Chains A and B, each alone.
Chain A
């Protein structure tokens, strides 16, 4: 009898934690999102679903901008990261783990601090552009900070290793004999890559995109540190509505909208490029 209870007793504390601090809060937020009122008189449940349409119509520029920045950064990470993963997986030799460690070095610095240091590098009169301007290589009014490019570059910078690692893991598993077989059958290097290596690496690409797109879209820090006032993302709006304006219903509605958009995005993406389809592509 006691043995049968063991797994339940083991799981109980974590269950309680997840139920009280994940499930209940999400339910509380769902409830708050349709309430009306203000922080002084309190909020009443009025089932005002217009909170959603209001919040979305007022903040659609930021919502769309977040999706666009997240998508642009994810594509940039994919293009920049794939060759790195490829080279380490196939040509890294005995020093593979050293290269991976070097790629992970930034994670030993606080996320906030490395974003700010990245901003330092991009500063108008910072050590990079300031020096180039001093040499007359750049016009004096050249600037990168407070542009959409700076935010997308920051997002790309911060999550690039999360794109490289899953692709690396996928490529590492490719059986070298498959590549040899392709070459024995007189495929050129390009054909081997396009018809053999690339399809086999797609599950890794899939994982990498998931691991980078979701946090990039919802990130408030890069836009705040690198984007100035013209490039605010949905994360900044939610933070301000909650913490500065105490507009809990609006903020809750926005949070749910963000989560719904991301879930729909993930689902569509998984459907379009699901594991089965990836295998089919590999077989073709």
Chain B
């Protein structure tokens, strides 16, 4: 029992350590800084919340990130769900090779993925912009959606779909009214993961962005000149929204259960 008490304290210390940079981020969004750098505490202010969208480049980068994440998520969810269904529901030739490709896409280091995509785009003389970023984001999210959906499909009782067909439902009707509702939690989880991966990505994006700026790229670009407090405020708001969605999600899941 004594042993457990010590480990409990230790676990809390690790949680506090992991969360401390979040606290710093939130705190310095309220810092009334006078000099260029935002590293020392100079008093409380709310003015950065008022001036949230005053830095044009930063606002543009955030909007780009949101739009790119949205587009990449839609594409990834559609083609990833299709592949997840194929792998979880059907037996077909090339299944082993497909599984290997899905695994390869997960285990390729981000840096190598970004570099190789740039090699392709340079060789093909393709200009780098938001489209190439979306292509890259779909690539690194695809396997995660596929794996999540496949796991959900495998838990699904095939006799449900057979029953629908026996009752005269068309293949599309069966999919829309039986399969899709049953796998929807997996599809939604995959979609959220794809969105989170896309909006957070720095490494792959840094290779394929051309002159298009995203939120993480803009932040890294401003490290040398000093990060404006607006970045902290945006980070705080994204953090708050993310936690709210997660908590609401788990409460809803508990109600359903």
Compute how far the CA of A16 lies from the CA of B111 in the bound complex, rounded to whole angstroms: 22
Q: Which residues of chain A are within 8 angstroms of B78 by Cβ–Cβ distance?
A: 13
A109 & B111 in contact (Cβ 8 Å cutoff): no
Q: Give the interface residue-count category, chain B.
A: 35 or more
CB of A48 to closest CB in B, whole Å: 16
| Contact A238 B108, CB 8 Å, known A87-B4, A87-B7, A225-B223 | no
Given A103-B18, A118-B21, decide whether A18 and B142 contact each other with a Cβ distance below 8 A: yes
**A110 contacts the other chain (CB 8 A):** yes
Give the CA-CA distance A97 to B257 in the complex, in Å: 16
Interface centre among A17, A218, A238 (most CB of B within 10 A): A17
B136: chain A residues within 8 A (beta carbon): 21
Given the contacts A7-B90, A25-B119, A99-B15, A242 and B207 also touching, CB distance less than 8 Å: yes
A50 within 8 A of B: no
Neighbour of B11 across the interface among A15, A99, A110, CB < 8 A: A99
Q: Which residue of A lies closest to B95 (CB)?
A: A7
Across the interface, do B105 and A18 meet the contact criterion of CB distance under 8 Å? yes
A interface, over-half SS: helix
Instruction: Tell me whether B111 and A258 are in contact (CB under 8 A).
Output: yes
- Chain A residues with Cβ below 8 Å from B113 are 22, 25
Q: Is A214 an interface residue (CB 8 A)?
A: yes
Of chain A, the residue at the smallest CB distance from B98 is A11
* Complex alpha-carbon distance, A193 and B28, angstroms: 44
Provide the bound-state CA to CA distance between A87 and B7, in Å.
Answer: 6
Given A252-B119, A255-B111, A105 and B22 touching (CB < 8 A)?
yes
Which of B25, B115, B123, B231 is A242 in contact with, Cβ under 8 Å? Answer: B115
What 1/0 flags go to A114-136 for Cβ under 8 Å of B?
11111011010111001000000
Q: Is the CB of B219 within 8 A of A25?
A: no
CA distance A22 to B227 in the complex (A): 35
User: How distant is A188 from chain B, measured CB to nearest CB, in Å?
Assistant: 12
The verdict on A252 contacting B82 (CB below 8 Å), with A18-B105, A121-B20, A221-B220 known, is: no
- Contact of A117 with B18 at beta-carbon distance under 8 Å, contacts A25-B120, A218-B110, A221-B203 already known: no
Number of residues of chain A lying within 8 A (CB) of chain B: 79
A258 vs B109: C-alpha distance in the bound complex, in angstroms? 9
- Which A residues touch B25, using CB under 8 A? 109, 113-114, 117, 120
Within 8 A of B (CB), among A85-108: 86-88, 91, 97, 99, 101-103, 105-108
Q: Are A14 and B24 in contact (CB under 8 A)?
A: no
Interface readout for B59-79 with A: 1 if CB under 8 Å, 0 if not?
A: 000000000000000000011
B120 close to A108 (CB less than 8 A): no
Residues of B within 8 A of A (CB): 3-4, 7-8, 10-11, 14-15, 17-22, 24-25, 28, 39-41, 78-80, 82-83, 85-87, 89-92, 94, 98, 101-102, 104-105, 107-113, 115-120, 122-123, 135-136, 138-139, 142, 146, 171, 196, 199-200, 202-203, 206-207, 215-216, 219-220, 223, 227, 231, 235, 238-239, 242-243, 246, 250
Could you name 25 residue pairs across A and B whose Cβ atoms are closer than 8 Å?
A8-B86, A11-B82, A11-B92, A11-B98, A13-B79, A14-B80, A18-B102, A22-B139, A25-B119, A84-B11, A87-B10, A103-B14, A108-B242, A110-B216, A112-B202, A114-B25, A117-B22, A120-B25, A126-B39, A130-B40, A238-B115, A242-B207, A248-B119, A248-B122, A252-B119
Q: A22-B101, A118-B24 are in contact. List 4 more A-B contacts (CB 8 A).
A: A87-B11, A106-B21, A218-B111, A225-B220
